[in-house]
Structure 1
Amino acid sequence: MDWEKKIDYSLVICTFNPDKRILQRCLEAVWQLDTTGISTEVILVDNNSDLPLHQQSYIKIFEEKIPGMHILLVPEQGVNYARMAAIEKAAGNYIVYFDYDNEPESDYLQELKKLNEQFPAVAAWGPGKVTVDFIDGVDNAIRHFASMAFQQREEQTVRTARENSWQSCYPFGTGLCTTASLLKEFVQLARQGRFTASGRKGNKLSSGEDTQMVLHCISKGYAAGVSPALKLTHIIPQNRANSQYLQRLLYGTFICYETCLLQVFPEQKKTLEQKIMPRWKFSRKSLKKFIRARWSKDPHKMFDLVEFIATNAGTYAALNKPVPLPVNQIVRILKVE
């Protein structure tokens, strides 16, 4: 590849032991992207898969089909390490993250180009239309909740904000497009230990690095937002479309937020200190919710419990305070860490 050539968009796809059905759909969609007037590269990150991607025949086919596609091997396990390596390698003015279970619409890059030209003060964009495809089905009792957990969105208008706390219009990691120079600065700070969100690694489902990337853009004076013109499908297999996985996903998402926020905006510490729940109250409410959830046949009671514990335990963690013992015991019983 000619690294001297100007690149508009670097498309990054991180994988670890990917489901062939899903990665094939993702790569097929990337191949179908309309790149008229747009220069691109595609960095397919192999985060140390048991069967290396470059040895798989269907990957070789896509390497030949997709212009500018190359495989980047990152041996250090964890999606954050994979992403940081890709950011450092990326040559584009913008970096677009497609998780390997994302299927973008063919006009995704064209719509991004329009948005970046029309809104130069917005440094992070995400899709306003996300459809969740449960390819192996899902229990109707949890379908709506699961769809929301997997980032289904139905925005009707462009929405942006520039607040130093998470806003409903801020983009998630799915289909996230960010100004490359800001991400490269983010990686430098992460390498120096300023940002510590590790991302998903093995069975741990923490996903704070997405949050910190967006908040870092905000800290630099830019806005972030979503647009209904950006559309993609989020492909979810059976091993993630179940209550136990959703509980772990909830825990991993909420446990890290306050730490992510505080590392980007240290001035938020006083606010956190004022909102932290007293230990006795945290323990009592957790036990009450736990008993109700255990006796209930409604899976949403358990989801509510996990979100409550993770949100408040996340505040304790951000302030380096020990979580009450009864709460830790509940977390161990639930097996959500």
Structure 2
Amino acid sequence: MISLSVIIPTYNPDAERFNKTLNGLKEQTLSFNHWELIVVDNNSSSGFSSQVDIAWQPNSNIVHEPKQGLTFARLKGFAEARGAIIVIVDDDNILAADYLEQVLHIFNKESKLGAVGGKSIPLFETAPPEWLSTFYSNLALRDLGDEVIMEGWSNKYPQSAPIGAGMALRKTALKTYMDKALVGKVKTTDRTALSLSSGGDNDMVIEVLKAGWLVAYHPALTLQHVIPAKRMETGYMAQLVNNTNRSWVQVLDSHGINPWNKIARWTVPLRKIKAWFTYKAWKNKVNFIRWQGACGTFEGLADSL
């Protein structure tokens, strides 16, 4: 019986990193009979399917989602999933060997739990610059310690809410999010080939909370997140922080919990110039990236007007 569905949305993945992700799943302590693997190909180049070996998992399938964007790929996976529990795995995540077994244990123990995540530990392909740790959260890296944290809806976003990498969800808790998607009310499409925006994880978590479920951070869940050299470059990080800040404002606004005042579009260039000096963006890489983040926030606040 399939109890759990692992969904990997992917677009032209790096072959070496993707194989590490698959090898991590191959080594899971949970019997293959109890879970399935769904790889969602989101418009990758031709020949992708023939390059992916998932035959080792008898309950596996590669499905295609022609609409570009991580949100669409995830929704495709959700629709295909047979398990009562869904685990989202990025194509650069390596789950600890007991990850899936721990997920089932946690959900069986906590009947009101809708979504849970754990530790996302960096696996750097090259030595990281010292300043990078300032932006770990933007890279979906986190470690909140060794205590379980569980929260419900309090009209604000919980600091312990699960991140997309390795997020496990009860499929019934996803109903309102999927219903919203069916009528075209899911506004964020997350990352695409041209954008580093995010927000889909947050949107899902808020819908789960609003539906009356709890969310949790659980230290028993650990994964490694592979960080290649490109993602440690200043230009990449500046675009990432800019795009994620912009989409973060948009998600909060869509749920009526945006704490900042909206701004007129014409004021954005002036605010960016002022922020350049406020953040002293010329001084170092951290300041420059933070300035880019402020620019993304201004754009998000203007978009929401």
- TM-score, normalised by the number of residues in structure 1: 0.83
Is the counterpart of residue 158 in structure 1 residue 148 in structure 2? yes
Q: Equivalents in 2 of 1:52, 1:237: separation in Å? A: 24
In structure 2, what is the equivalent of residue 18 of structure 1?
A: 13
In structure 1, what is the equivalent of residue 165 of structure 2?
A: 174
- Give deviations 1:18-59, integer Å, cap 9, x for gaps: 101100000000111111497100001111111432221xx2
Q: CA deviation at 1:242?
A: 1.0
Aligned AA for 1:252? N
Give percent identity, aligned residues only: 24
Q: Identify which of 60, 64, 71 aligns with 2:62.
A: 71
User: Number of residues paired by the alignment?
Assistant: 303
Whether contact under 8 Å (1:131, 1:232) holds in the other structure is yes
Q: CA deviation at 1:306?
A: 1.8
In structure 1, what is the equivalent of residue 198 of structure 2?
A: 207
- Give deviations 1:69-104, integer Å, cap 9, x for gaps: 111122222111111111111111011000000001
Q: Which runs of 5+ in 1 are unaligned?
A: 1-5, 322-337
Please say which of residues 103-112 and 22-31 is displaced more in the overlay. Answer: 103-112
Whether contact under 8 Å (1:195, 1:260) holds in the other structure is no
> Equivalent residue of 1:125, what SS?
strand
Q: Equivalents in 1 of 2:33, 2:201: separation in Å? A: 25
> Equivalent residue of 1:235, what SS?
strand
Q: Equivalents in 2 of 1:296, 1:316: separation in Å? A: 25
Is the counterpart of residue 149 in structure 1 residue 144 in structure 2? no
Is the counterpart of residue 190 in structure 1 residue 181 in structure 2? yes
Is the counterpart of residue 109 in structure 1 residue 100 in structure 2? yes
Q: Equivalents in 2 of 1:225, 1:282: separation in Å? A: 37
Q: CA deviation at 1:297?
A: 3.6
Q: Identify which of 92, 112, 129 aligns with 1:139.
A: 129
- Give deviations 1:227-256, integer Å, cap 9, x for gaps: 111000000112222111111111221112
Q: Equivalents in 2 of 1:139, 1:112: separation in Å? A: 34
Q: CA deviation at 1:191?
A: 2.5
Q: Identify which of 101, 107, 120 aligns with 2:111.
A: 120
> Equivalent residue of 1:167, what SS?
coil
Please say which of residues 68-77 and 167-176 is displaced more in the overlay. Answer: 68-77
- Over alpha carbons, which structure has the higher Rg? 1
In structure 2, what is the equivalent of residue 328 of structure 1?
A: none
Q: Equivalents in 1 of 2:217, 2:6: separation in Å? A: 18
Change (3 A) 1:114 1:96: same
Q: Which runs of 5+ in 2 are unaligned?
A: none
Aligned AA for 1:203? L
- Give deviations 1:101-130, integer Å, cap 9, x for gaps: 000100111211221122222201011x22
